[in-house]
Amino acid sequence: MISVLIPCYNYDVTGLVKKLHKQLNIKADKFEIICVEDGSINVFSNSQIEKLSHTKYIHRKKNIGRSKIRNFLAREAKFKWLLFIDCDSLIENERFVENYIKYTSYEKQITYGGTDYQTEKPKKDKILHWKYGSKVESKKKRNIFSSHHFLINKKAFGKVKFNEEIRHYGHEDTIFWLELKNKNYKFNYIKNPLTHIGLETNKVFIKKTTEALKNLYFLSKKYNLNNISIIKSQKKISKFLLNDLVLILFNVTKKKILNNLLSKKPSILLFQFYKLGCYLEIIKDD
């Protein structure tokens, strides 16, 4: 009835898979779990998950990216319903699987459950990701679809898929959401979160944020992404002819902002301004 699909990159998924397997055994008539390594260098003991019934492990030596690996997983799946879950997740709800199975009757609906962050403060070199995730990302989960975990009918997925032309980091789920909406599919948020435990270091998080902003600008040329908050902000600034003024302020303060973001007490307000400044620079340099 349900295929649980886990793209994996350099992460230990054994604990996640065992919890999923236990819940599926109780609540699913038929199921499979498929985990695919996307060119992982460190595979830990992930191959051991194949000792569990109805569980498949595939080690792909070449990294093909976030879109292609999800499409590959969907092709491997044999059941009608696909439950995608990112590998760096922690299940804290004993009814996590059950809560999704309730929605396996709605073929024109994509159901997603939101992402939480652990309450315990991490080491200082991962504070920025944790703080931003806790205070910003987890708060907008009702309105913003994320591919972190979601349930979709296999026929619906076959009509859209993840766009494999998106080769750089970020916003492949935004385009996936938009293209499904354009085909009149509905998105349904349920209170069924997973805890995101794969925190990036401050430096890596800033780098990936910049990469995602570049990708967003590239995609905005082809798609209508005016509902994205940073594009809304950029358009307001442009409307009042404030681009140059904001860029001057950004360039003057950029070094100090980065020092703050790499500290043990990063400011989310400064991070938001940093993102806006980077986005304006990307537009100007195009």
Topology, domain 2-199:
Spore Coat Polysaccharide Biosynthesis Protein SpsA; Chain A (3.90.550)
| Residue ranges per structural domain of the chain | 2-199, 226-285
Burial class (CB in 10 A: 0-12, 13-18, 19+), 149: buried
Residue from 22, 30, 40 nearest 88 by CA = 40
Taking only the tens place, the pLDDT of each residue in 57-110 is 999 999 999 999 999 999 999 999 999 999 999 999 999 999 999 999 999 999
What does the buried/exposed string (b/e) look like for 36-54 if buried means 16 or more CB atoms within 10 Å of the residue's CB?
bbbebeebeebeebeebee
pLDDT at residue 144 in the model: 80
- CA dist list (Å): 283 to 175, 216, 277: 20, 11, 10
Q: How many CA atoms lie within 13 A of 147 on its CB side?
A: 22
Pairing assessment for the beta strands 109-112 and 149-153 based on DSSP bridges: antiparallel
Per-residue pLDDT of the chain in tens (286 residues, 90 and over written 9)? 999 999 999 999 999 999 999 999 999 999 999 999 999 999 999 999 999 999 999 999 999 999 999 999 999 999 999 999 999 999 999 999 999 999 999 999 999 998 999 999 999 999 999 999 999 988 775 668 889 999 999 999 999 999 998 878 889 999 999 999 999 999 999 999 999 999 999 999 999 999 999 999 999 999 999 989 999 999 999 999 999 999 999 999 999 999 999 999 999 999 999 999 999 999 999 8
What's the angle, vertex CA 36, arms to CA 69 and CA 185, rounded to 5? 45
Nearest to 212 by CA among 268, 163, 172: 172
CA distance 210 to 197: 21
In this structure, the chain runs to a length of 286
Specify the pLDDT at position 166: 86
pLDDT at 167: 79
Tokens of 205: 């998080």
Torsion of CA 125, 144, 117, 66, to 10 degrees: -60
> pTM for the full model?
0.95
